[in-house]
Amino acid sequence: MALVTLDDIEQAAKRLEGVAQPTPVELSRAISAIAGRRTVLKCEHLQRTGSFKIRGAYNRIAQLSAGERSGGVVCSSAGNHAQGVALSAALAGVPATVFMPTGAPLPKVEATRGYGAEVILTGSGYDDAHAAAQAWTAERGATFVHPFDHPDVIAGQGTIGLEVLEQVPDAGTVIVPMGGGGLVSGVAAAVKAVRPSVRIVGVQAAGAAAFPASLAAGEPRPLAEVTTFADGIAVKTPGALTLRHVAALVDEVVTVTDEAIARAVLLLVERAKQVVEPAGAAGLAALLDGAATLIEPVVVVLGGGNVDPLLLLRIIQSGMFEEGRYFAFRTRLRDRPGALSGLLALIGAAGANVVAISHHRLGTRLGVIEVEVHIEVETRGPAHTGDLVDALLAAGYPVT
């Protein structure tokens, strides 16, 4: 199958008029200063359904024949593709059935139902949901809308590349998150067709990095497992078509850790005032880590913003810990009235904020009249944490 062309993407852009909204770009001075490079954020997390997925889904569904439409569409997804297909099908007047893992985030499940799709929860992960969707497709004669490995889907995602070139005409590098590769394939096809000198960098989570081995082998090679909290890019096997696009058009593929992604999510919340899900923030994580060769200005595609609030809280805490702004330690006290208040007074005087505390009276390391205290505090960073530890040690409190 041939690679997606510029004409394919331009035709997709026409179909998407009035359906997918052009998303804004934002020159972030704060992030530019931290990254040491002029950085522009492509805010695709502000797209309808909260991610770029509606672009490819609608471009695929809009081209179905009358017979295919009557049979309905089916997809499997952990969340974003599900919502894109559900809304696209509703707009096109096509019945949609969506298979999602039983552990899919509740907000994504409810949003998918809210767009009018029938949601079937099955299996423990994406692979189970995908297998169930394939069986349903064979039994019912429905049309399967692939999340990434189809030319119409790739062309729809490629409209982001056209927007980037219009909005940032001097772009030097475009950084794109990668799971199955549909987004980076489309963006690369658009950008390289218009301006071949622009670098395209794809970013995968280190625990779900299927592309490096597949590129080396020249064919899709599945991972034995994926381990990342960035569920939107947790894909075991690249698509055959997306692999060809990446091999031909993407300049560099890099990986980032979950910890780096957590820091990026936190930075976006604090400094850019943008709420972005882990998969959508992978590109920024690569920029901050210096993981790729870049030409300024750098455009970072923020792919989606559908993050469960409870997960966001954990991410923020993890990001603060990685930045040295969240410090957990143990110390020992005499088990007598006023001992704890004295310790807390010292911590407060040092300018740290206690967020959790617990007592432990039993332990082989403790004396009969001693108590161990586990404390978690917020600090202003590593230097402040060091000052706090020095103050504790100077006052006679052991710190572990």
- The reply to whether 6-50+151-319 and 324-394 are identical in fold is no
| In this structure, CATH architecture of domain 6-50+151-319 | 3-Layer(aba) Sandwich (3.40)
CA 42 to chain centre: 14
Say yes or no: domain 324-394 is CATH 3.30.70.260. yes
Nearest 5°: the CA angle 231, 234, 239 is 135
Tokens representing 367 are 């004396």
Chain segment 27-55, per-residue pLDDT in tens: 999 999 999 999 999 999 999 999 999 99
Of 286, 304, 312, 306, residue with least CA distance to 43: 304
Question: Within 10 Å of residue 122's Cβ, how many Cβ atoms?
Answer: 15
Tokens representing 1 are 């199958």
CATH number of 54-144: 3.40.50.1100
Distance CA 252, CA 188 (A): 11
**pLDDT value of residue 164:** 98
What is the domain partition of the chain in residue ranges?
6-50+151-319, 54-144, 324-394
Helices 258-267 and 309-322, packing angle to 10 deg: 100
Residue 208, H or E segment: none
**pLDDT value of residue 305:** 94
- In the structure, what pLDDT confidence band is assigned to residue 366 with cuts at 50, 70 and 90? low
**pLDDT value of residue 361:** 62
Q: Is the pLDDT of residue 319 over 60?
A: yes
Chain segment 340-362, per-residue pLDDT in tens: 888 888 888 888 888 888 877 66
Tokens representing 295 are 């030409």
Of 129, 246, 257, 277, residue with least CA distance to 181: 246
- In the structure, what pLDDT confidence band is assigned to residue 365 with cuts at 50, 70 and 90? low
